[in-house]
Amino acid sequence: MIRRWFLPHTLRARIATTFSILLLFAAIVVTVVFARQAARTHFAAQQQLAQNLLGFVEPAIRGLVANYDIAGLDSYLRKITADTTIAFIRITDESGTLLFEHQGNVEPMSALSRILISADDVIKPFGADIVVNGVKVGRFEGALSYGPLNRSIHQVVTVGVLFTGVTLLIAFLLEYFLLRRFTAPLQPLMEWAREFGHGNWHPRAKLIDSGSSEIQQLNQAFSDGSAAMRHYVQSLEETRELLEYNETRLRKLVNNMHEILFELDAQGRIIFLNPAWQTLTGFSIDDSLGALFSDFLIDEDAIRDFAPQLLNRLHEKNREISLRGEDNKRLWMSLDADAQKDSAGNFTGVIGTLGDITKSVELNHLLSKYQDELYHLSVTDPLTGLYNRRHFDSQLEVILADHLPKNMPVCLLLIDLDGFKFINDTYGHPFGDEVLRTTAQLLKQQVRRNDYIARLAGDEFAMVLKNTDLENATRIARKLHDSISETRIPLPVGHMQLQSSMGVAEAPTHGADAQDLVSASDVALYHSKRRGRNRIEVLSPDISKAVMSIFSQGFQLRNALEQGHIHPAYQPICNMQSGKPMAYEVLARMRINGLIIQAKDFITVAEELGLTRDVDLHIIRQALTQTPLEFALFLNVDISSFNDKSFVQELGLLLKPACDNGRSITIEITEREAIPVSDTLHQDIQRLRTFGCQLALDDFGSGYSTYNFLNQFRPDYLKIEGSFVRGMLDNESDRKIVAHIHELATSFGMKTIAESVENAATERALQEIGICNAQGLFYGAPRLAS
């Protein structure tokens, strides 16, 4: 560090010196500026003097030179050259002969003048020709001296230096005394600081009050600091006492802890244990101190983690470990432990706790055993011990996902016992249960090690053959079929011979997912039963594609109903006079993978599988919920659904509250097959009419619509079949049929609705006949609710 011995020792002297140096620098700058300005002014005056001298002397000497009056010229010029400002004067005649010459003060420019005046600024000689009547008679030349200029500049600089010196002295003294007065309050503050340094928080020095806000704030800060330190010292003393008290309490808590508190050194040796160690393990603390902690562990992974070379990375939270007790009993412990490091980051050891969880672990093990048993019960059939339908559905997906990407085929074999209902009804359920157990045992005997068997329903079983093609699956099915056919179950008198029908399908040939594979096997089993039972059918192109399509679409239809993917669509029925809707026909639509499927594409499947009633009720329920009360609705109901009394009851529960709330509802009957008009059907429809429902007969003029139904039920609306309406413009017979149906309806007091109206020309033709209401693409296509 550079020594600053040359600086004053006190703060006020340093401030005064610094301020004086700054003032000196400013004075020097001001003096130089003024001296430079004075020099330039004097220099300019000298130049002007030379010009004035030339203008003044030249007319006077013109006559003297012209008359060649040397004596007069000499007398005149000696008076002028008496001024020391003139350095020299020379006068010559026209031939250059010297007439007069004066050599005066030729003092050069001083060093100070050269500093203050630019090097280009020099006193230049002056001269002019002497001309009389246009004739040159001589020449006048001269120059001025630097002497006056040098003396003027020297005088200015001298005065400036004297003034600066006096000013500096006065300023320094004034600053010193002022600073001494202003910094006087700092002296007691220094004494306070010195006392603080020696630990004296009650200084004897008295602080001096000052008008300076900074000094006042500093005084206040010292006073507050002294008070705060006194408070801190007192608090530290109280804290020390509290720490002693808490240490005593902590020691009691540690000694009374139910958990083991332990500390290990860097080598994994025990250096601290609380009394809980001896209580839980049976080992004395004195014997255990100094021993390796890993000596008391049982599991290899825990022993490895407490090896000395791994301890510095130890961080355990709620880890379940086993501890060896004195009687070699396994104790289950919950371990919390962390490696400890000092301020330099060096590993010093491990601190942790061990909580006894032996009872909890044993209870959990017992609970886990019960859960396994419960899971086994939930996925197996209690009667046969085979997997149940729930487990089959999930496991088949897993098997296919595992085998098909590896190009390994999977075959599904469905087994159905023939005449099982007869067995149950004839010999009783206990004997039926014995038949099922026997069949399950036969399946277990025939199944290969990696194959899978399950009981799907009452008498239906499934066998999944992994990595097996259709040929080998058929061979296995024949062997199983023969085994079942050869089985005899004893009866009180005689015995019972079992028979079975089987269907076989292969993935991915007949389906790449579980749904398709089950559907394909269902089709094969269905075909087996249709061909006389007690046989094996393998799905092949010979089996009707229509049957396969029905089963496949039926599966989709069931799924759509279960998952809510059947939705109502609404098509307006308009009054052709006003062009406004008088009602909306509710139609069924199925949504699959974003595609909207019309009812005509799945209603046949619903009829084949007996799902028509479910579809109708689902659509009606949604339509009544989605639409406002002021919407009049035409609800399609298949007349065959009225054969199911539960359907009629559910339909009534839906329609009565809607009608009571003022909803206008028309039941639109569709006849897809000839249904005899019975008293029960008549009563059911009349009951719906008592709720306030109206009746409409759909597609009149085609299908199974009959005059008998028209006469029996007298519907409120007759809907004219769309094929006649579409052809009436081009076919006179169609036009006459439409007109005849309208006349017939009018004679019965019914209103007609023309279907499939697609253009304005058809609308005009219908109005000419007298038909008022119509529906079709011309008025709007069916739309799902937004």
Using one digit for the tens of pLDDT, what is the confidence trace for 354-404? 988 888 888 888 877 777 777 777 788 888 989 998 899 889 999 999 999
The alpha carbon dihedral of 436, 441, 442, 448 has a sign of positive
Question: 51-55, 164-168, 197-201, 370-374: which has the minimum mean pLDDT?
Answer: 197-201
Question: Which of 186 and 613 is assigned the larger pLDDT?
Answer: 613
The model's pTM is 0.39
Question: 10-19, 162-171, 442-451: which has the minimum mean pLDDT?
Answer: 10-19
Radius of gyration, CA atoms only, the chain: 63
pLDDT at 550: 52
pLDDT at 544: 44
Residue 743, pLDDT > 90, answer yes
* Rounded average pLDDT over 251-262: 81
Residues 347 and 364: beta-carbon distance below 8 Å: no
As a whole number of angstroms, the distance between CA 59 and CA 50 comes to: 15
Averaged pLDDT of the chain: 82
pLDDT confidence bin for 706, thresholds 50/70/90: low
Question: Which of 211 and 666 is assigned the larger pLDDT?
Answer: 666
Instruction: Identify the bridge partners of residue 505 per DSSP, sorted by sequence position.
Output: 412
* Rounded average pLDDT over 412-440: 87
pLDDT at 133: 78
Question: Which residues does 682 contact at the CB level (< 8 Å), separation at least 6?
Answer: 712, 713
User: 738 burial class (0-12, 13-18, 19+ CB within 10 angstroms)?
Assistant: buried
Q: What are phi and psi of 590, to 5 degrees?
A: -115, 130
Question: 28-42, 484-498, 620-634: which has the minimum mean pLDDT?
Answer: 28-42
Dump pLDDT digits (tens) for 140-152. Answer: 888 777 777 777 7
Backbone torsion region of residue 678, taken as left when φ is above 0, otherwise alpha when ψ lies between -120 and 50, otherwise beta:
beta
Beta strands in 121-169 (DSSP E): 126-132, 135-144
As a whole number of angstroms, the distance between CA 465 and CA 424 comes to: 30
Residue 600, pLDDT > 90, answer no
pLDDT at 754: 95
Q: Other C-beta atoms within 10 Å of 196: how many?
A: 15
As a whole number of angstroms, the distance between CA 7 and CA 389 comes to: 103
pLDDT at 8: 62
Backbone torsion region of residue 260, taken as left when φ is above 0, otherwise alpha when ψ lies between -120 and 50, otherwise beta:
beta
Please give the full DSSP string across 664-720, using - where no structure is assigned: -EEEEEE-SS-----HHHHHHHHHHHHHT-EEEEEEETSTT--HHHHHHH--SEEEE
As a whole number of angstroms, the distance between CA 274 and CA 291 comes to: 15
* Rounded average pLDDT over 753-775: 95
pLDDT at 3: 47
C-alpha distance from residue 522 to each of 158, 223, 491, 546 (Å): 129, 98, 32, 14
* Rounded average pLDDT over 520-544: 76
What is the DSSP-derived secondary structure letter of residue 269? B
pLDDT confidence bin for 467, thresholds 50/70/90: very high
pLDDT at 596: 85
Residue 222, pLDDT > 50, answer yes
Dump pLDDT digits (tens) for 554-599. Answer: 667 777 888 888 999 999 999 999 989 999 999 999 887 777 888 8
pLDDT confidence bin for 174, thresholds 50/70/90: confident
The number of CA neighbours under 13 Å toward the Cβ of 627 is 29
Backbone torsion region of residue 330, taken as left when φ is above 0, otherwise alpha when ψ lies between -120 and 50, otherwise beta:
beta
Question: 37-46, 443-452, 613-622, 638-647: which has the minimum mean pLDDT?
Answer: 37-46
Dump pLDDT digits (tens) for 309-344. Answer: 988 889 989 898 889 888 888 889 999 999 999 888
pLDDT at 173: 78
For 195, the enclosing helix (H) or strand (E) is: helix 186-197
pLDDT at 2: 42
Highest mean pLDDT among 161-165, 219-223, 623-627: 623-627
Residue 783, pLDDT > 90, answer yes
The rounded percent of the chain whose pLDDT value lies above 90 is 31
Residues 500 and 462: beta-carbon distance below 8 Å: no
The rounded percent of the chain whose pLDDT value lies above 70 is 85
Question: Which residue matches tokens 């011990």?
Answer: 385
- Listed in sequence order, the DSSP H helices in 268-406 are 276-281, 285-288, 300-305, 358-379, 389-403
Question: 10-19, 255-264, 282-291, 560-569: which has the minimum mean pLDDT?
Answer: 10-19
Dump pLDDT digits (tens) for 618-674. Answer: 999 999 999 999 999 999 998 878 877 778 889 999 999 999 999 999 999 876 555
Dump pLDDT digits (tens) for 93-109. Answer: 788 788 788 777 767 77
Dump pLDDT digits (tens) for 82-139. Answer: 777 777 788 887 887 887 887 777 677 777 777 777 655 666 777 777 877 777 878 8
What is the DSSP-derived secondary structure letter of residue 375? H
